[in-house]
Structure 1
Amino acid sequence: MSSKQPDTGRSAEPCEGYLVTPPLREASSFAGLLDHALTVLPVAAVRLRLVETAPEKMKQTILDIRQIVNRHDAALMLDGFPELVRETGCDGAHVGAEDVAAARKILGDNFQLGAACDFSRDLAMLAGEKGADYVAFGPFGVEPEPEGLALLTWWREMMELPVVAAYSPASETTGLTPPETLRTLAATADFLALGITAAGESFNPLWQTPEQFLPLFAATAEG
């Protein structure tokens, strides 16, 4: 994700995808879905969420997913577990804003670090000060959230750190319903995070038919 560093002010660069996996215990059952989504969509990074099991099993899952992600020239970010980043050859970690300082100490300066900031401007600014390489706002749902969108717009216009808009709809939501929220997020953020529901489970419309989400990124490129 480090290749995309927007200048202060509205960047002309199109939004890119940022895929978030459901919690994985092993890679084999998800490998085909991930590979297909990476083939279809313009994805800058994949955030791998792991089920906490035996360390060696977790490392093997990371290595298996890393092979897929590397084939598509995307960055692999671990959701938490910064101590495993160095051992498994990941590109970085994604942690809560309050954990950025501790994670940066573990990672050093050679790995990327993202921060989940909910809808808090203060947390995002603190994360930036402590060494985050990008901030993430959300989760956004299918309903318009004026305050959240205003914060996203403000950050993109005023700050240099890239911003991720996390879209996590309710589990019963299917497809792009309604499409307006997703289009707005894609037109505003540097990266659009897709892949899980508000409950943290698999957002099946994305993984089963990623083709339907491609117009989001094509539209930002044309605009």
Structure 2
Amino acid sequence: MSSKQPETGQRPEPCEGYLVTPPLLQASSFADRLDRALAMLPIAAVRLRLAPSDPDSMKRTIHDIRLVVDQHDAALILDGLPELVRETGCDGAHVEAEDIAAARKILGNDFQLGASCGLSRDLAMLAGEKGADYVAFGPFGAEPEADGLALLNWWREVMELPVVAEYRPASDATDLVHTAMLQTLAATADFLALGITAEGEAFDALWQTPEKFLPLFTESVES
């Protein structure tokens, strides 16, 4: 995941997708939907969230999901669990901003490392200083979030570190594909994270009809 920082207010190209899975106990229940989304959308990375299980089962799930992701030339990022990245052939890990230093010590410099920063500029700057390769702001819902959008826009204009905007609507929200918030996030961030709701469940509008989200990543937009 590399930055596409513009030199002016005009974005040179649309943002890329960043898929986030619901917690998976095994790959078979989700592999087909993941494969379809990866085939339909320009996805830079997939963040795999694992349901609690024994270590061997978790490694099998990672292995099976990695086979799907590798077919589409996307990066596979583990949600937490940096200690499993090297062992399972993943591309990196995603942790809380406060855990970046410890995770970087585990991973060394050969793997990608992302940080969840909420809507905190200070946490994002700290994560960058401690070795994060990208920061993630959010989650953003379907409703306007002026302070969060201001932070996202400021970061992308001022900082070189790539930024991910996390979109997590409420499960019962309507018109999930074409909300002004979703379009604004796509026009502002380097990467748009989709895949789960505010409750942490599968964002069905995305997984069932990924093609509806394609315009977010293909249309020229202004930041």
Q: What TM-score do the two structures reach when normalised by structure 1?
A: 0.95
How many pairs align? 221
Q: What TM-score do the two structures reach when normalised by structure 2?
A: 0.95
Partners of 2:178 and 2:5 in 1: how far apart? Answer: 31
Q: What amino acid is aligned across from residue 6 of structure 1 in structure 2?
A: K
Q: Which runs of structure 2 are paired with 1:11-30 in the superposition (5 Å)?
A: 11-30=11-30
Q: Is the CA contact (8 Å cut-off) linking 1:140 and 1:169 kept in structure 2? A: yes
CA shift for structure 1 position 176: 2.6
Q: Where does the alignment leave 5 or more consecutive residues of structure 1 unmatched?
A: none
* Equivalent residue, structure 2, for 1:61: 61
Deviates more, 1:165-174 or 1:86-95: 165-174
* Equivalent residue, structure 2, for 1:158: 158
Alpha-carbon distance change, 78 to 220 in structure 1, aligned in 2, over 3 angstroms: farther
Deviates more, 1:169-178 or 1:197-206: 169-178
The secondary structure found in structure 2 opposite 1:72 is coil
Asked if residue 105 in structure 1 is aligned to residue 117 in structure 2, the reply is no
Q: Is the CA contact (8 Å cut-off) linking 2:187 and 2:221 kept in structure 1? A: no
CA shift for structure 1 position 9: 4.5
The secondary structure found in structure 2 opposite 1:170 is coil
* Equivalent residue, structure 2, for 1:6: 4
Alpha-carbon distance change, 132 to 8 in structure 1, aligned in 2, over 3 angstroms: farther
Partners of 1:175 and 1:64 in 2: how far apart? Answer: 33
CA shift for structure 1 position 13: 3.2
Q: Is the CA contact (8 Å cut-off) linking 2:187 and 2:222 kept in structure 1? A: no
Partners of 1:179 and 1:12 in 2: how far apart? Answer: 23
The secondary structure found in structure 2 opposite 1:200 is coil
CA shift for structure 1 position 7: 3.9
Q: Is the CA contact (8 Å cut-off) linking 1:8 and 1:158 kept in structure 2? A: no
Q: Is the CA contact (8 Å cut-off) linking 1:96 and 1:115 kept in structure 2? A: yes
Asked if residue 170 in structure 1 is aligned to residue 157 in structure 2, the reply is no
Cα offsets for 1:27-62 (capped at 9, x unmatched)? 001000000000000000000000121100000000
Q: What amino acid is aligned across from residue 194 of structure 2 in structure 1?
A: L
Q: Where does the alignment leave 5 or more consecutive residues of structure 2 unmatched?
A: none
Partners of 1:105 and 1:165 in 2: how far apart? Answer: 26
Q: Which runs of structure 2 are paired with 1:36-55 in the superposition (5 Å)?
A: 36-55=36-55
* Equivalent residue, structure 2, for 1:124: 124
* Percentage identity across paired residues of the two chains: 71
Asked if residue 198 in structure 1 is aligned to residue 198 in structure 2, the reply is yes
Alpha-carbon distance change, 8 to 180 in structure 1, aligned in 2, over 3 angstroms: closer
Q: Which runs of structure 2 are paired with 1:181-196 in the superposition (5 Å)?
A: 181-196=181-196
CA shift for structure 1 position 220: 3.5
The secondary structure found in structure 2 opposite 1:63 is helix
